[in-house]
Homo-oligomer: A and B are copies of this chain.
Amino acid sequence: MSKCEQCIVREFSSLKALNKEELVKLAECKTSRLVKKGEVIFEEGENVNGIFCVKDGVCKLTKLSQNGKDHIVKLVTKGELLGQRSMISEEPVNLSAVALEDMQVCFIPKSEIMGFFDKNNQFSMNVMRTICGDLKEADSQMVNMAQKTVKERLAETLLYLQDTFGKNEDDSLKIQLSRDELASMIGTATESCIRLLSDFNKLGLIELKGKKIILKDIPKLKKMS
């Protein structure tokens, strides 16, 4: 069983507040798991009873809307935690988590985490700050969905994807989303998303190489987002 001390998750998440002793306990109770691209980590409505550490890979958090379409609420990448909200609220998860790439995740049972809350104030504050950050982001996204056009949201999302996940050697977005997923992130029909990508392509804002997307005119994309 690998140690948690050097783990990337510890470096970037609320867990950075844990001391050596706590990390040893963590390493003892955690279970590791490989998740293949497309595999479900947990599903809306499930009782998860713990949190996941994302050691490697990226997943999408989705919510099923009444019209039957999935909406991507957030992407979670290596170094981050999953399932904190549900654990704290003591409720089933309100979002599904599905791997966008092969992933390495660790599961930490609730009992262990709750102990940290009691004894480690810095850890509590870290978790609180993370969730506050998520809330701020969610509020902002809500307003975007309500007030921006699909075109603006597409431009914004493309920039976000490059900023957050970077690009390959050929300058294409490192994170690989299908048109369908991109559409469900910006909240539109797949065809509309594809059509707008074509438009952006013709306008020289982006370049499409198969399903790869290369951002060509970032200033213009920023201006229109």
Contacts and interface: CB of A to CB of B under 8 A. Distances in A.
Contacts of A75: none
A11 interface: no
A206 interface: no
Contacts of A2: none
A136 B86 CA distance: 9
B127 A117 contact: no
Interface string A93-136: 01100000000000000000000011001001101110111111
A145 B142 contact: yes
B144 A65 contact: yes
Nearest to A71: B143
Interface residues of A, number: 41
A50 interface: no
A127 B129 CA distance: 12
Contacts of A144: 65
A129 B128 CA distance: 10
A71 B147 contact: yes
A140 B94 contact: yes
Given A121-B117, A147-B69, A89 B139 contact: no
16 contacts: A65-B146, A65-B148, A66-B147, A67-B147, A67-B148, A69-B147, A71-B146, A71-B147, A85-B135, A88-B132, A94-B139, A95-B139, A118-B121, A138-B139, A145-B145, A147-B187
Contacts of A152: 66
Given A88-B128, A131-B135, A65 B147 contact: yes
A143 B140 CA distance: 13
A63 B128 contact: no
Interface in A53-73: 63, 65-67, 69, 71, 73
B88 A129 contact: yes
A141 interface: yes
Interface in A68-83: 69, 71, 73
Given A143-B73, A147-B71, A147-B187, A136 B63 contact: no
